[in-house]
Amino acid sequence: MRRAPVAYSAIAVVIATGVVACGGSDSGGSGGPSGSSGSSAAGKKQTVTVTITSKSCLPDVATIPSGPTTFKVVNKDAGDVTEAELVDGNTILGEKENLTPGLSGTFSLNVKAGKYQLYCPGADTEKVDFTVTQAAGATAAATRGAEVTAALSTATTGYATYVRQQVADLVTTTGAFVTAVKAGDLDQAAKLYAAPRLDYERIEPVAESFGDLDPAIDARIDDAPDVASWTGFHRLEKAIFADRSLAGTAPIADKLNTDVGKLNTLVAKATFQPAQIANGATELLDEVGKTKITGEEERYSKLDLLDVQGNVEGADKAFTLLEPALKSLDPKLASTVRTRFTALYKALAPYKEGTGYVNYDKVTQDQRRGLSQAVDALAEPLSQVAGVVVS
Amino acid sequence: MVERFALSRRRALFGAAGFAGAGMVAATAAGCSDDSSPATAAAPRGIVPFHGAQQAGITTDAQDRLAFAAFDVSAGVSRDQLRELLVGWTAAAARMAAGQAVADDAAAPHSPPRDTGEAVGLTAGNLTITFGVGPSLFDGRFGLAGRKPAALADIPPLPGDNLDPLRSRGDLCVQACADDPQVAFHAVRNLRRLAQGTAVLRWFQLGFGRTSTTSDGQDTPRNLMGFKDGTNNIKREDTTSLDKHVWVGADADQAWMRGGTYVVTRRVRMLLESWDRDFLQDQEQVFGRTKASGAPLGAAEEFDPVPLTVKGADGEPVISADAHIRLAAASTNDGATILRRGYSYTDGVNQETGQLDAGLFFIAFQRDPRTGFIPIQRRLAASDALNEYIVHTSSAVFAVPPGVRDPKDFWASSLFTT
């Protein structure tokens, strides 16, 4: 009952923006190769020469590929035109002013693809169209070294292995739990409820990718279309911890066992892309913020912090597998995410009790807010990993 | 009257003249130049220059909407990380003030967009983003204890306070004002996002209508009680008063605050149900003004001098001893005066009472709260007739450092370098 599964959100919104960042300051303006810009490889600086005359301001090329660009502005002989600007509508992206005849100067920008204009106030034709196309080979994947590609490949097989192991464990722990439920042993069922929850929460986004399986296994009462068709762990959780009666729950227990078995069959064939793994990690943390911190997920057993642990461990595993590649691709991001994982574990530590965690009722409003903030602090940089490791 | 209001309101929204504000140097609001020479062209419409000797959003003509947030720096954050946050915030704020997205977003379908996107297609709406630091930032976590100005002391408890600690104080503050509420919200939302892991949102107040004028060109708006309050505000044209009462001078104990100011915020809930039951004459005596025209009682026009010494036929002062206008007047406060820049707010229904949770989010700038807000409010809290109808529910004070000089500078840089 959640948003689209691990399937990396294909519909990221692309914002039309001001599209440039100030480039380095090339004060002086001399030295750049005059004239020719040609096609520049991504990341390599190119130069556009703009000549100001009383008639207009003319670039030596009307179309360039995106990327860092130096605009060299030359005033040949225009007495009443002394500046040239690169504009996007009414927004000035870069400019060189106070160029009297004979003078030249530069401004530098990292220009993104788009339609712009060169603007020289006072000329007969003040605006001239200027087009920037998407540079070829500008995507991250194209420039990757063999080592990184190999590390990402290791991550994908590693994650598949991890998921299969978790689900295999889930089959075992669910089996024991279901046996206790069907035996009508309330205390034993209560005791065995925690283990499969932890296994499941570690790989929850994967289960979510298989359509109806996640709702069948993990729906909260609010997610079920009606109480009669409500199945899965939380239906049994209510029977054990709230109703204190297992009467009539045998079919639910059997179905849970069957559904977990189906999940096991499905994950045997599943493969994962690096971006999927990264997005899955982010989704695990979104789960924490959405239903765990609020105490909705385990409202009868009060084991919410155990679910949190499962989600965080699952996210950590996914990130750890991607970490070697990420360290090459974006070391700062890799180190930020690692630091935030450490901080989140530190935030959870005070609530540990025995082999698990304190009853969630004992966690105050202020403490819950603190946990939620630690989760957000991690999830924000973690959400940037997919775009870096995407194939 | 209606005509005049409409005209000057339009001027406030769209007029280009005077955007730079007193003491603000013209600077490149948008665009880049390798030699960083200031642009000579006037700022485009609806864009308030971000860079300058003082921060924008203080003497800038009060915009229509407010989004004000206080942040706490997260545990374990180092001084360098704090500095890095302020560098990143400043760059993002400069872009947003110029009507740009927070960062360039190349088409990257597998990454979350860097800008949240809700301001795309909107104008800058005269957005100003003003930054301040609270007393708690100087507690030793960042090695700044020796940099704490004496003027940056917590506001002491005052009579009539009923403060919610979760809506009060804070390590950092951001005041976003714009003529479009979505633009103001977008600014705070994106700064908050950039702060993830470094600082957390402590409280966040939206204001839907300005209650102050900070320029002679603006008409005095009405507060939720229906009155014009703050007619005698310090205006940006009055640079003498600004230098005397608002900007921190060269005599400051902390050099990094020279050219800055201090902001006090108070969430003043109005008991509007009670107020609306009060009869007109009493309402007017509470404020000391005529409700319809805004003129002081005993005077003809809004901007006439307040006749504090004039007595009526009954021998009593026409403006009573406990009238708000009298107690707040500079002349009765040993000359103490502050630049008010508040907004009307509502947070819906008070669930305890079923009454409106609405009132004034009071904002005041001054060179020293100890000689500005605190003595004035102490006096008001003791005897203001208005106290029957208001309750102060939050309180905060922040040091507002001088302006960001150019694109290489950042908020409170002088705190880290001076």
SS (H, E, C) B107-118: CCCCCCCCCCCC
pLDDT at A12 over 80: no
On the question of pLDDT at A227 being above 70, the answer is: yes
Domains and CATH numbers, chain A: 20-138 (2.60.40.420), 142-389 (1.20.1420.20)
Please tell me what DSSP assigns to residue B175.
E
Pull the structure tokens for residue A66. 């995106």
Confidence check: pLDDT of A8 > 80: no
Query: What's phi and psi for B184, nearest 5 deg?
Result: -65, -45
pLDDT at res. A83: 87
Residue A217 pLDDT > 90: yes
Q: How far apart are CA B411 and CA B397, in angstroms?
A: 17
**Residue with token string 């089996």:** A175
* pLDDT band at residue A330 under the 50/70/90 scheme: very high
H helices within chain A, ranges in order?
A: 146-182, 186-192, 194-202, 204-208, 213-218, 233-237, 250-269, 274-287, 304-329, 331-348, 365-382, 385-389
Mean pLDDT by 10 residues, chain B (418 residues): 33 33 34 40 77 97 97 95 97 96 78 93 96 97 96 94 96 98 98 97 97 92 94 92 96 95 98 96 96 95 94 93 92 90 97 95 98 94 94 98 96 88
Mean pLDDT for A227-253 is: 96
What pLDDT is recorded for position A44?
Answer: 59
Residue A99: predicted pLDDT: 84
CB < 8 Å to B110, chain A: 8, 12, 275, 386-387, 390
What are φ and ψ of residue A266, in 5° steps? Answer: -65, -40
Residue A279: per-residue pLDDT: 94
Name the more confident of A67 and B357. B357
> Which of A130-134, A177-181, A344-348, B400-404 comes out lowest in average pLDDT?
A130-134
Would an 8 Å CB–CB cutoff place A67 in contact with chain B? no
Residue A67 pLDDT: 72
pLDDT at position A25, please? 34
The ipTM of this complex is 0.81
Q: Is B74 on the interface with A (CB under 8 A)?
A: yes
Domain limits of chain B?
46-101+123-142+151-406
For residue A139, name the pLDDT band (cuts at 50, 70, 90).
low
Tell if the CB–CB gap between A15 and B101 is shorter than 8 Å.
yes
Strands B172-178 and B65-73: antiparallel
C-alpha A254 chain-centroid distance: 37
Higher pLDDT, A95 or B65: B65
CA-based nearest distance B54→chain A, Å: 23
Mean pLDDT of chain A: 85
Which residue from B374, B365, B370, B371 is spatially nearest to B336, judged by alpha carbons?
Answer: B371
Beta bridge partners of B345: B359
Record the tokens describing residue A356, joined without a space: 């698990």
Share above pLDDT 70 across residues of chain A, in percent, rounded to a whole number:
86
Does A3 score more than 80 pLDDT? no
Among the listed ranges A70-79, A249-258, A350-359, which one has the minimum average pLDDT value?
A70-79
Question: B115, A17: Cβ pair inside 8 Å?
Answer: yes
pTM: 0.77
Query: What pLDDT does A39 receive?
Result: 38
- pLDDT at residue B35, as a whole number: 40
A343: contact with B, CB 8 A cutoff: yes
pLDDT on residue B13: 32
Average pLDDT over residues A386-391: 90
What pLDDT is stored for residue B100 in this prediction?
94
Mean pLDDT of A85-96: 78
How confident is residue A140, by pLDDT bands cut at 50, 70 and 90? low
Q: What pLDDT does residue B309 have?
A: 94
Task: Confirm or reject contact between B35 and chain A (CB < 8 A).
Answer: yes
pLDDT on residue A17: 33
Residues A202, A173: Cα–Cα separation, whole Å: 14
Of A150-164, A319-333, B16-30, B185-199, the range with the lowest mean pLDDT is B16-30
* Beta carbons of B197 and A336 less than 8 Å apart: yes
Over residues A18-27, the mean pLDDT reads 36
pLDDT at A340: 97
Q: Is A136 on the interface with B (CB under 8 A)?
A: no
Residue B412 CA to residue B418 CA, distance in Å, equals 10
Q: Which residues fall within 8 angstroms of residue B282, CB to CB, at 6 or more apart? A: none
pLDDT of residue A333: 97
The whole-angstrom separation of Cα A26 and Cα B32 is 12
Instruction: State how far the Cα of A363 lies from the Cα of A295, in Å rounded to an integer.
Output: 10
pLDDT for the residue A141? 63
- Which chain B residue has the Cα nearest residue A13? B113
> Helices (H), strands (E): how many in chain A?
12, 12
